[in-house]
């Protein structure tokens, strides 16, 4: 049996895990200085087209593996072992490259900790759609839907556990051959690392079975979308949930109330980070639980940001289980950019001590224009082009990225938009499903 190959991976602007690989026995030697990488690659769209960029043929960074962001899966029925470590992109002096998406999240997490003494606790929900093989789909949410791919789902649960990713659920979803995996929350950068590694493990286990898992937000135009909802809360140094306050009707602490307000305030620009591809906007919209409006609600699955109270009756568990959910996110975004931008948006509300917006208790699409205005609800951008314009119009949201990152990120995204505009939506869906 082949020993396999050890992969060093990093996540770019289009949310793909790019990699270089070395024989496993050379990994130790790569720990310190990593592998060189020509950064012009950061200007790639998900396809072969590359955006105009400031780097050219010389600029290079080191992709330095972080052993805390590592998974291995043993050899499986003829498939070689799987070994992936995520990297920080560093300049030759060891500082963080200003266009590294992992560095982008780290900066926001550091601000949260140093300015507010809080740690981010987060878990993504992973929706994906299977294709290939000869599975006949079952009805939504049924035992049949889960058991038509019994080896896949059982092997998946085992692989996620063995890899230390702490799976919590593996379940059939609403769509045709759509499934969902959730994992236990992780702290800080590990929340994003875990999401990226979980997705790659899901893809690998699908490959073992001759299947393909796509996380594209809209694999087919008339099918169900795949979200990457992010559940999160904030912990202090003693792991207490500082998001919770039993004394208010919303159960949200003063910090969280202003955090939600900041997210609402920046939402049209924020989606340029969290739903950042042309196909993202074929998913977002009312009546699909994927949200079409920048709205806040308690337990409302049509709201873009939702308070999720714990169902527990025990006060201690009520406090520890209380969390928030951000829904207009998908797997075409770097999980690091989602977490980093979400924190920055929220902190901008906390710094301004904004009050909690009124809660929307219905599908905001059912409200009149005037009722929405009263609740502070605006329509989310309807295309990547609109989201990028909202980003450029929001000085605060633009400032979360260093200047080179901002310019190069927008250039890549504008090119993606242009490529998509030349195609019919069905083709955009098909193309993205083949890559994500
Ligand atoms: N698939 C829906 C989405 O695109 C979410 C369904 C759910 O709430 O789990 O976001
Ligand atoms: Mg779901």
* DSSP code per residue over 89-105: EE-TTSPBPTT-HHHHH
pLDDT at position 345 is 98
Q: Can you give the C-alpha Rg of the chain in angstroms?
A: 21
How would residue 32 be classed by pLDDT, with cut points 50, 70 and 90?
Answer: confident
pLDDT at position 368 is 96
pLDDT at position 1 is 55
The length of the chain, given as a count of residues: 436
Q: Is the CB of 223 under 6 A from ligand 1?
A: no
How deeply is 386 buried, as exposed, middle or buried, from its count of CB atoms within 10 A (0-12, 13-18, 19+)? middle
Q: What is the mean pLDDT of residues 401-430?
A: 98
Q: Is the CB of 285 under 6 A from ligand 1?
A: no
CA 313 to centroid of ligand 2, rounded, Å: 25
Q: Is the CB of 241 under 6 A from ligand 1?
A: no
Candidate of 129, 174, 274, 325 to mutate for ligand 1, largest count of ligand atoms within 8 Å of Cβ: 174
CA 229 to centroid of ligand 1, rounded, Å: 8
Q: Is the CB of 330 under 6 A from ligand 1?
A: no
Atom of ligand 1 nearest to the CA of 283: 4
HSE-CB of 300 using CA atoms within 13 angstroms: 22
How many CB atoms within 10 Å of residue 311?
A: 8
Q: Is the CB of 289 under 6 A from ligand 1?
A: yes
pLDDT at 258 over 90: yes
Q: Is the CB of 301 under 6 A from ligand 1?
A: yes
Q: What are the DSSP E strand ranges found in 185-274?
A: 186-187, 212-214, 230-235
Query: Are 28 and 106 in contact, with CB atoms under 8 Å apart?
Result: no
Q: What is the mean pLDDT of residues 207-220?
A: 97
Q: Is the CB of 227 under 6 A from ligand 1?
A: yes
The predicted-structure confidence for 305-350, as pLDDT tens digits, reads as follows 999 999 999 999 999 999 999 999 999 999 999 999 999 999 999 9
Cα separations in angstroms, 99 against 13, 246, 402, 409 = 9, 41, 8, 9
Q: What is the mean pLDDT of residues 392-413?
A: 98
Nearest-angstrom CA–CA distance, 188 and 69: 12
Nearest-angstrom CA–CA distance, 205 and 246: 42
The predicted-structure confidence for 231-250, as pLDDT tens digits, reads as follows 999 999 999 999 999 999 99
pLDDT at 206 over 60: yes
Atom of ligand 1 nearest to the CA of 291: 10
The predicted-structure confidence for 70-122, as pLDDT tens digits, reads as follows 999 999 988 899 999 999 999 999 999 999 999 999 999 999 999 999 999 99
């Amino acid at each position: 049996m082949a020993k396999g190959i050890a992969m060093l991976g990093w996540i770019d602007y289009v949310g793909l895990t790019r990699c270089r690989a070395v024989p496993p026995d050379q990994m130790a030697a790569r720990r310190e200085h990593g592998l060189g990488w020509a950064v012009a690659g950061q200007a790639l769209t998900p396809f072969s087209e590359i955006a105009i960029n400031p780097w050219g043929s010389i600029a290079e960074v080191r992709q330095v593996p972080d052993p805390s962001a590592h998974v291995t899966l043993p050899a499986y029925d003829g498939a070689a072992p799987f070994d992936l470590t995520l990297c920080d992109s560093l300049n030759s002096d060891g500082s963080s490259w200003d266009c590294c998406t992992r560095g982008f999240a780290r900066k926001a997490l550091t601000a949260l900790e140093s300015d507010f003494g809080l740690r981010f606790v987060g878990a993504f929900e992973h929706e994906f759609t299977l294709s290939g093989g000869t599975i006949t789909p079952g009805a939504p949410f049924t035992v049949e839907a889960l058991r038509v791919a019994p080896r896949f789902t059982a092997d998946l649960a085992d692989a996620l556990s063995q890899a230390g990713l702490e799976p919590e659920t593996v379940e059939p979803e609403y769509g045709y051959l759509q499934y969902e995996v959730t994992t236990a929350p992780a702290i800080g950068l590990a929340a994003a690392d875990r999401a990226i590694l979980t997705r790659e493990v899901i893809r690998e286990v699908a490959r073992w079975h001759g299947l393909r898992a796509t996380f594209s937000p809209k694999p087919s135009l008339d099918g169900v979308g795949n979200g990457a909802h992010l559940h999160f809360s904030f912990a202090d140094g003693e792991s207490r949930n500082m998001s919770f306050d039993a004394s208010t009707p919303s159960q949200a602490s003063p910090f969280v109330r202003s955090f939600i307000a900041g997210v609402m305030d920046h939402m049209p620009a924020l989606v340029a980070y969290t739903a950042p591809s042309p196909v993202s906007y074929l998913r977002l919209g009312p009546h699909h639980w994927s949200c079409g409006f920048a709205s806040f609600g308690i337990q409302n699955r049509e709201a873009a940001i939702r308070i999720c109270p714990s169902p527990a009756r025990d006060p201690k568990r009520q406090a520890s289980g209380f969390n928030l959910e951000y829904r207009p996110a998908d797997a075409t975004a770097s999980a690091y950019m989602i977490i980093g931008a979400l924190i920055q948006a929220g902190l901008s509300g906390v710094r301004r001590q904004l009050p909690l917006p009124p809660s929307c208790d219905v599908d905001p699409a059912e409200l009149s224009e005037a009722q929405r205005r009263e609740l502070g609800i605006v329509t989310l951008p309807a295309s990547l082009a609109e989201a990028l314009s909202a980003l450029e119009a929001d000085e605060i949201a633009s400032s979360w990225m260093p200047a080179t990152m901002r310019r190069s990120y927008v250039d890549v995204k504008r090119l993606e938009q242009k490529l998509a505009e030349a195609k019919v939506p069905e083709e955009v869906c098909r193309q993205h499903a083949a890559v994500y």
